[in-house]
Structure 1
Amino acid sequence: MTEAAFNWPSFLQRWSDEWADSWAPDEALDEADEEARRARWLGFAPASAERIAALEERLGCPLPPSYRSFLEVSDGWRNAGGFVYVLAGTESHGWQEDEVGIGEMYREELDEDSTEEEIRLVEDMWDRTLPLDVESDATYVMLNPGDVGADGEWAVYCYRTWAGEMPERYASFREFMAEMYREFHHLRAGDPGSATEFVNATTRKLDAVVEQARCDALAGEYRRAEDALAEAVEYGRPRAAALRDQIRWLLGDSYLAGFDGLTDDPVYALEMLSVLAVGHVERSHDDAVWAYTVRPAPDDLHEAADEIRRQVGAGTFRYVTSGPFGDALDEARELARWGEADAAWRTVLAALPQWRPLGPCHLAPIGLLADALLGPLLTPERGRELLAAPRGEAAGGEVAAPVDLEPGGLDWLAAPGPHRTSREAYRFILVESAHPAELPDRVGAEGSSGLNTPMTACETQTTLLNRGETSSYDDKALASVGRAGSGWSFAFDGQPSPFDEQRFVSPAAAASGPGHSGSGPGSRSGSGSRAMVVWSDPGLPHHGSPALFHFSLAENGEERYDFTVHGSTIRRSGEIPPALDPDRLFGNAAADTSADPDADPDADSNADRDADPAAARAEQRALEAIATEFGVSLPRFALTHGRLHTFQTCSWTRPPGPGETYMTVTLGQVDETIARMTDLQS
């Protein structure tokens, strides 16, 4: 809107009327405010053309358009927002030259990390600006003739000394006044001590916007709803922030999104607190912070809220809701716990039209974010899919097909990608005709007690650090388990010890033998099957450690064939199918072991890992061939972002023989704080 099209008289009169009506008739005001209330006018008489011209002559330059237009309507203003009590008119002006020294203080804090905006604000704000604040609560308002837009408007800088932040910049005086009007609304709407209800044409219009935004959000029009709610939030309208925060959390933006007012409502409190517990645990806040978070909730819910936080921290929280949607969540959770993330998410999304809100402030089953198994599925992309699906009272519309995140197959392990920064060592076991729950019986360590509670990759790594004693011959893995395609299960270790070809014993034979308990769902107690083992390490070729790839297959307890490629050496045994012939898959890579003579031997280890592209391509070919030959795959999303059951496998390395030496390392318990830091950094 151009300055000529902006109606200052109408805007300022509406502001004045709403301010006057926001006070109860018997509320005591100071003399100036009482006069403004009786007059229903926060301003003063218009400034004459002569007074404006005299000010411009005194300053030596013309005023910016919007401030000049404002003065023609009112020569100053009272109660601009909540902290500027009087804004300057034509009488009060003189150039600001940092008389109080705040600019110098900010200059001393500038360093090489300061942004261009921070430098410009500090340099421009305190030298030769036009102060507008006459009376305020430690708030400075300045027009800056050195920051001029194409429309001739001077930027306004507003600095609140008690806020401890950089100044707020507004492109023009009109923009600043519009924000102060919104601030007035926000403060009056949220004032619990007000003796009169704050209702007027503006609030009624905005409340209608909030209700329409709620309906739009339930119908899947979440972008339109979010934009509408953003304006209502600035005016402090009830429900607006609570509704918008639910959208923000599902889109991956949880910053300062605390579900305004819902944590003190018994209808919504526990669901919203379960989501806030996720942020609390991720940021490793202490009990005092959680107590502050829970404080608005009804007293009789505090104990339940504390238990929710404990379960979220332990990775055991289940989001429970009734009806068909709750039944679908149980089904999805069973899929997710075995690594079938895409199938689990499709189950959730298909059932979403059957979800029902707890009340008119509930836009989505946001408690899913706290669920130990289903929460990891809710990436920002899937949050958008959820928000775009009609639900609640708007259910009945078409739910778009979700986009699967799993690439399928095995070859994703051979290349860097969004899930990791470089090729990494890994090893896994695939077992046919066995449920994942059976794998501890087949290849578990002696004394293994079955599967552990599902955990993330970071939690698995922390558990490894806390195991205490390790040795160079006792090479047990803490492996994640799940389904690896139709009829196959996997045990995956993403933190293997170095491969020792002399002592390596493939667990494929043990894995393919008959199970002991047959306790897993769909298990075939007493029956054998096929099992395969893959071990890959990209090595550090520039440090004399070539890439390694091992594959072995066993059936009914006996190894049938295997091959190991280590640099230029290929070792094999048994009748290897032509599709898996290592000469075909690795021949060129094994022959080309030369290192770049110009490479820096002290280069970053990630660069070293990726320094053998021929080996990477060969590894990818091998993984593709294995996946095609046996119809198997590993779930990338579940292994890198989800929670999976784990168990300790038997050793992949034989005990030392006569005359062989070994080393044992004993580690103390890792400090909990360090473990948390590891989780956050990862």
Structure 2
Amino acid sequence: MTKTDATPFDWRPFLLRWSGEWADSLPDGAGRGEADEAARRDRWLGLAPASEKQIAVMEERLGRRMPPSYREFLEVCDGWRHAGGFVRLLAGTADAHWHDDEYGLASRYEGRLDDDCGPDQRRAAGIWRRGLQLDVESQATVLLDPEDVDEHGEWAVYVWASWQGTEPRRYAHLAEFMRDMHRQFHSLHARPADGEPEFANDTTRELDARMEQARLEALRGEWERAGHRLDEAKEYGRPRAAGLGDQIRRLLGQAHMVYFEDVVIDPRYAPELLPVLVADHAAQSYRDDSTLEYHLRGAGDDVLAQARATLEQVRGGTYRYTAAGPFGEAVVRARELARWGDTDGAWRTLADALPLWQPPGPDLLAPLGWVADPLLGTLLTPERGRELLATPRGGQSGEAPDPAAGLDPDDLAWLADLSPHGNLTSYRFVLVEDVEPEDLPGRLADGAGAVLGAPLNHDEARLLIHGQREFSSYGDQAHVAVGRAGTRWSFVFDGDPPYFDPQRFVSPAATAGAGTRAVVVWNGLRDWRGDPFFHLSVAQDGAEQYAFTYADGEVRRTGEIPGALDPDRFFGSGEECAGAERSLLEAVTGEFGVRLPRHALTVGRLHTFTTRSWRQPPRDGEGYAVITLS
């Protein structure tokens, strides 16, 4: 019950229903005490109602008038058996008494209070000295708080058990506590053991009907309403409720405590749900697979074998999501877009095909396996998850949602927005016109380096660089990400370059621009390792057209630089270079009509390779050092 007004809670029908459900849940012939046997026979868990005189005597003994919901409860039953799974007897008028710190917990909780504690924590700490104890036979302590009173005179209920955590759980009033104990009773009996009767009653039938409503609502795009219904059914322990609700939660970006219970072990849904469960497990627990097996309890051998194979693929980076029908065809197109950095286009491809998706059975609410795909999984954001969930699918009709906003600006200037403490305060990139991304290694690398590696995210690429075994004092081979930089341009990008050496730097623009046009940018205007610098060079048909380098407070230039890129516009005499980075990036965007994909470079995965050195090799007679790590 939620007390939003003074309307009393109707205790009798609620308690009658609970009593009947409890009686029906008991196996025939099981040994039980006399009181429980009488309760089963009478289909009533309560003691006889308390008279007004009994209530008055109790209140005189305790020195306080009882709160409305407790008084109304006593008028229906003067005590209650089996309140949930851990309170065997709840007090009536004779047994309720002041707790008076019976277990010596007050000093423990009061000793934890400090200046940062709020009023709720301070009030809860004092419950042990002033609370009215309602549990008589119990594994938990149930206390009414006479100082935590709402506008209707209701006393809050605090419940504490040593195995439930350190803080007592608070309920607004007794009726709210009892309804939760009814849910707990259902949750504990929802899966009968061998020999127990089927747990089916009016409450379970109502909840299962609401779950079916929720399933259809979810497919129509009404995911919030569906989620509320499924959460309610989950609180009552209804089978499949958690497995259905977890699908919604995971698409909202929530991975903690999401296990797709019951549904994931069904062979029809395992191809979509297992990869997500496995990928989340691999991200949290690298080698201890016992928890994964626990969450797949009840699965058949075929599903367990599939889980092990998928886990091996996820850990090896080889898992690839596939789907049937038109949606599966869209998955192939989306992966191709994503692997070259067009994550906005990849998302729109998936989202536009979603109405054509068909589930393999009634308990799959949306395609989910793509979330575990190394390329496609990075497309998911909470906003996109909400768009997916709001899209009618699976043969259901409804209103299409507004598309989620794209994540990639149509320019280069976003590079200047990154925090000075981020990874991209110094960066360099090459833009090549009318050349496909997969052809860039042939222009910028030699030998084994001219091979595209598997797509990596920024952190994985850094680990690969840090695993390098040989270093030279002149070498500067860049490990670059590759992708498309607009409708006619491709790029390579290095977000972790060494410090710029203007004396030995060799621009790769000429070799990259053989038979076309190429642009090189190296920015270090926020590089903490030394003085600010910036380099731009442009080549056409294998020959450098123009270039400038700002370093040591001076500008060196070659060729005829277009007015829009003239360094005097950005680095005037005696001026600070603050703000020059953004202006320069905007000018390069305007001059060449290029962009870089922010989401793919900062969050997603892109193919990589290692370029030739960006520094001159040693001249005759110059010394250098090579360090090899064994």
TM class by shorter chain equals: over 0.9
- For 2:626 and 2:105, the matched residues in 1 are separated by 61
Q: Say if 2:99 is the partner of 1:96.
A: yes
* One-letter amino acid of the structure 2 residue matched with residue 359 of structure 1: G
Distance 1:298 1:270, change over 3 A: farther
- For 2:513 and 2:527, the matched residues in 1 are separated by 33
Deviation at 1:657, TM superposition (A): 3.3
Distance 1:72 1:434, change over 3 A: same
Partner of 1:473: 474
Task: Pick the aligned partner of 2:586 from 621, 624, 634.
Answer: 624
Moved more, 503-512 or 285-294: 285-294
Alignment check: 8 A CA contact 2:486 2:595 kept = yes
* One-letter amino acid of the structure 2 residue matched with residue 536 of structure 1: N
Structure 2 counterpart SS, 1:485? coil
Summarize the alignment of residues 257-296 of structure 1 with structure 2, pairs less than 5 Å apart.
257-286=258-287, 287-296=289-298
After superposition, the C-alpha distances for 1:312-348 in whole angstroms (9 at most, x for unaligned) are 2233211111111111100111110000111111110
Distance 1:395 1:481, change over 3 A: farther
Structure 2 counterpart SS, 1:45? coil
Alignment check: 8 A CA contact 1:425 1:494 kept = yes
Alignment check: 8 A CA contact 1:568 1:592 kept = no
- For 2:266 and 2:25, the matched residues in 1 are separated by 26
Deviation at 1:284, TM superposition (A): 3.3
* One-letter amino acid of the structure 2 residue matched with residue 151 of structure 1: H
Q: Specify every segment of 5 or more residues in structure 2 that has no aligned partner in the other structure, as ranges.
A: none
Deviation at 1:68, TM superposition (A): 1.6
Task: Pick the aligned partner of 1:530 from 492, 517, 528.
Answer: 517
Partner of 1:551: 536
Partner of 1:611: none
- For 1:355 and 1:302, the matched residues in 2 are separated by 26
Distance 1:336 1:569, change over 3 A: same
Structure 1 counterpart SS, 2:179? helix
Deviation at 1:43, TM superposition (A): 0.5
Summarize the alignment of residues 12-51 of structure 1 with structure 2, pairs less than 5 Å apart.
12-51=15-54
Q: Say if 2:350 is the partner of 1:388.
A: no
Moved more, 653-662 or 4-13: 653-662
* One-letter amino acid of the structure 2 residue matched with residue 550 of structure 1: H
Structure 2 counterpart SS, 1:195? coil
Alignment check: 8 A CA contact 1:466 1:667 kept = no
Partner of 1:636: 598
Partner of 1:591: 574
Distance 1:473 1:378, change over 3 A: same
Alignment check: 8 A CA contact 2:97 2:134 kept = no
Deviation at 1:19, TM superposition (A): 1.5
Partner of 2:377: 375
Structure 2 counterpart SS, 1:464? helix
Alignment check: 8 A CA contact 2:424 2:496 kept = no
Distance 1:291 1:65, change over 3 A: same
- For 1:4 and 1:433, the matched residues in 2 are separated by 74
Summarize the alignment of residues 448-597 of structure 1 with structure 2, pairs less than 5 Å apart.
448-513=449-514, 528-539=515-526, 545-566=530-551, 568-587=553-572, 591-593=574-576
Partner of 2:9: 6
TM-score (norm 2): 0.94
- For 2:226 and 2:218, the matched residues in 1 are separated by 6
Deviation at 1:400, TM superposition (A): 3.7
Alignment check: 8 A CA contact 2:445 2:611 kept = yes
Alignment check: 8 A CA contact 2:191 2:199 kept = no
Distance 1:336 1:117, change over 3 A: farther
Partner of 1:519: none
* One-letter amino acid of the structure 2 residue matched with residue 560 of structure 1: Q
Deviation at 1:421, TM superposition (A): 4.7
Partner of 1:404: 406
- For 1:130 and 1:124, the matched residues in 2 are separated by 12
Structure 1 counterpart SS, 2:97? coil
* One-letter amino acid of the structure 1 residue matched with residue 9 of structure 2: F
After superposition, the C-alpha distances for 1:284-337 in whole angstroms (9 at most, x for unaligned) are 342333333444421123232122112222332111111111111001111100
Alignment check: 8 A CA contact 2:279 2:314 kept = yes
- For 1:422 and 1:477, the matched residues in 2 are separated by 16
Partner of 1:336: 338
Distance 1:255 1:114, change over 3 A: farther
Deviation at 1:389, TM superposition (A): 0.6
Alignment check: 8 A CA contact 2:243 2:264 kept = no
After superposition, the C-alpha distances for 1:51-93 in whole angstroms (9 at most, x for unaligned) are 2122222222221221121111111100001111000111112
Structure 2 counterpart SS, 1:629? helix
Distance 1:619 1:540, change over 3 A: closer
Deviation at 1:165, TM superposition (A): 4.2
Partner of 1:80: 83
Alignment check: 8 A CA contact 1:129 1:145 kept = yes
Alignment check: 8 A CA contact 1:139 1:159 kept = yes
Alignment check: 8 A CA contact 1:445 1:476 kept = no
Distance 1:384 1:368, change over 3 A: same
- For 1:511 and 1:398, the matched residues in 2 are separated by 45
Partner of 2:189: 188
Q: Percent identity?
A: 51
* One-letter amino acid of the structure 2 residue matched with residue 230 of structure 1: D
Partner of 1:438: 439
- For 1:193 and 1:63, the matched residues in 2 are separated by 43
Q: Say if 2:605 is the partner of 1:656.
A: no
Deviation at 1:372, TM superposition (A): 1.3
Structure 2 counterpart SS, 1:649? strand
Alignment check: 8 A CA contact 1:508 1:554 kept = yes
Deviation at 1:530, TM superposition (A): 0.8
Moved more, 41-50 or 163-172: 163-172
Alignment check: 8 A CA contact 1:79 1:86 kept = yes
Partner of 1:127: 129
Moved more, 437-446 or 503-512: 437-446
Structure 1 counterpart SS, 2:332? helix
Alignment check: 8 A CA contact 1:423 1:538 kept = no
Deviation at 1:118, TM superposition (A): 7.8
Alignment check: 8 A CA contact 1:47 1:74 kept = yes
Partner of 1:679: none
Distance 1:636 1:93, change over 3 A: same
Structure 1 counterpart SS, 2:456? coil
Deviation at 1:213, TM superposition (A): 0.8
Alignment check: 8 A CA contact 1:445 1:651 kept = no
For the aligned residue pairs, the C-alpha RMSD in angstroms reads 2.3
- For 2:361 and 2:574, the matched residues in 1 are separated by 68
- For 1:379 and 1:113, the matched residues in 2 are separated by 38
Moved more, 296-305 or 435-444: 296-305
Deviation at 1:244, TM superposition (A): 0.7
- For 1:489 and 1:395, the matched residues in 2 are separated by 40
Structure 2 counterpart SS, 1:206? helix
Alignment check: 8 A CA contact 1:121 1:167 kept = no
Deviation at 1:566, TM superposition (A): 2.5
After superposition, the C-alpha distances for 1:504-530 in whole angstroms (9 at most, x for unaligned) are 1111111112xxxxxxxxxxxxxx111
- For 2:498 and 2:185, the matched residues in 1 are separated by 63
- For 2:262 and 2:279, the matched residues in 1 are separated by 19
Q: Say if 2:356 is the partner of 1:354.
A: yes
Distance 1:116 1:28, change over 3 A: same
- For 2:370 and 2:240, the matched residues in 1 are separated by 21
Distance 1:72 1:264, change over 3 A: same
TM-score (norm 1): 0.87
Alignment check: 8 A CA contact 1:536 1:549 kept = yes
Distance 1:662 1:131, change over 3 A: farther
